[in-house]
Amino acid sequence: MDKELKMDQNTITGIIGSGAMGSGIGQVAAMAGHKVVIYDNNTASLDKAKASLQSTLAKLEEKGKIVSAAEIMGRLTFAPEIGALAPCGLIIEAIVERLEVKKAVFAEVEALVSDTCILASNTSSLSITSIAAACKNPARVMGLHFFNPAPLMALVEVIPAIQTDLVLLAEAKALIGAWGKTAVLAKDTPGFIVNRVARPFYSEAIRIYEEGIADMATIDWAMTTIGGFRMGPFTLMDYIGHDVNYVVTETVFTSFFFDPRYKPSFSQKRLLEAGWLGRKSGRGFYNYAEGVTQPQPDTDDYKGKIIVDRILAMLINEAADALYLNVASAADLETAMTKGVNYPKGLLSWCNEAGLSTCLATLDALYDQYHEDRYRASVILRKYVAENKEFIF
């Protein structure tokens, strides 16, 4: 790049996609003082986004959290024509998670904007390198992965493609900080940090359920009451939606060359096939129809601790392996899981607290029982136990 990424009040931010994520990122940028163009060729979606943002900002003004909703709305332009993105200095794409669609959009947008415009994708699991390859100047492409809802969630994963001009990373992190968010740096690997490390929270919970060790309500109870998580895995999957959660799992599994650690489940796939997407459709793992009595958990502390220890060991192992393979620094791994998915503590800190040898013993016992690669312990965990070391941040 001839020029560094420099963001000030005069820089226009473009958002591609007016769904919940796109409009949420647009709100964040506008509240930080930037002019924002939200582009979507679906005018109904644009109108819905505009009305939703007006309502949200009016409520924030009423609560005294912002001075003027009208002033912030005045910075937002809702455009049905892609040409409206031409004057933007930063464009963030937040559309459907389909690689070929994203590549086509990036190629089209690159032809419209200046040579110094930065192009970013909000993809949660697709290759930034593949997206960048669609551009004539891939050095200006990176990933900026916000979490839903973007105005409330603190974390943004900054992901360089292998082609990205690395001078942009410090500028991107500074921008994210100016927007009131916390940036972590992640290698361009499937799922980046959060969607990679968090997979066992869902998949191991489903495995325990499928084996008949405990029902969904009991697993959710154990993970919240004993584990301290804000939501149990089945409640959270229903909240996220199986059309999103399952697809991310399947994408990560495929992208990791079918590593069994990320293997999806038939239980969740069948829900997706049935259209039981969770809360949004009224039924998922749980039935949300009016008058339905929800199942009650077995609140046996001994069983609950076994469930928590098993899922937690798998989560810790995933975080340790991400560190071992230089996906992110130890500090960024801790930040990502506490601010990106609101875990009660960082997984590496949790491992230190529980004892690395205890975590390793849990994983080795599972491997001895199942003889599945799913339960193989990370090299770094085994190495640190042998050397009597702990994780350092």
User: Do 217 and 126 fall into the same domain?
Assistant: no
Last residue of a domain, one of 151, 185, 219: 185
User: Do 234 and 313 fall into the same domain?
Assistant: yes
In terms of C-beta density within 10 A (0-12 exposed, 13-18 middle, 19 or more buried), how is residue 73 classed?
middle
User: Do 67 and 209 fall into the same domain?
Assistant: no
Per-residue model confidence as pLDDT tens digits over 129-161? 999 999 999 999 999 999 999 999 999 999 999
User: Do 220 and 132 fall into the same domain?
Assistant: no
Domain that holds residue 370: 196-386
User: Do 323 and 289 fall into the same domain?
Assistant: yes
Per-residue model confidence as pLDDT tens digits over 190-242? 999 999 999 999 999 999 999 999 999 999 999 999 999 999 999 999 999 99
Domain-embedded: residue 209 = yes
Q: Is the pLDDT of residue 1 over 60?
A: no
Q: Tell me, what's the pLDDT at 355? A: 97
User: Do 200 and 346 fall into the same domain?
Assistant: yes
Per-residue model confidence as pLDDT tens digits over 98-113? 999 999 999 999 999 9
Q: Tell me, what's the pLDDT at 5? A: 52
Please report, for the domain that includes residue 297, its CATH number. 1.10.1040.50
User: Do 234 and 127 fall into the same domain?
Assistant: no
Sheet holding 76-79, edge to edge: 76-79, 35-39, 12-16, 90-93, 118-121, 141-146, 155-160, 182-185
User: Do 210 and 181 fall into the same domain?
Assistant: no
Average per-residue pLDDT in the chain?
96
User: Do 290 and 252 fall into the same domain?
Assistant: yes
User: Do 284 and 306 fall into the same domain?
Assistant: yes
Per-residue model confidence as pLDDT tens digits over 19-70? 999 999 999 999 999 999 999 999 999 999 999 999 999 999 999 999 999 9
Q: Report which of 346, 376, 349 is spatially closest to residue 362, judged by C-alpha positions.
A: 376
Q: Tell me, what's the pLDDT at 342? A: 95
Residues 6+ apart with CB under 8 A from 1: 116, 139, 140, 165, 167, 168
End-to-end CA distance of the chain: 32
Please report, for the domain that includes residue 176, its CATH number. 3.40.50.720
Q: Report which of 251, 303, 261 is spatially closest to residue 123, judged by C-alpha positions.
A: 251
Catalytic residues: 124, 145, 157, 195
Domain-embedded: residue 265 = yes
Q: What is the number of structural domains in the chain?
A: 2
Its pTM stands at: 0.94
Domain-embedded: residue 146 = yes
User: Do 227 and 289 fall into the same domain?
Assistant: yes
Q: Tell me, what's the pLDDT at 10? A: 73
Domain-embedded: residue 206 = yes
User: Do 55 and 179 fall into the same domain?
Assistant: yes
Q: Tell me, what's the pLDDT at 9? A: 62
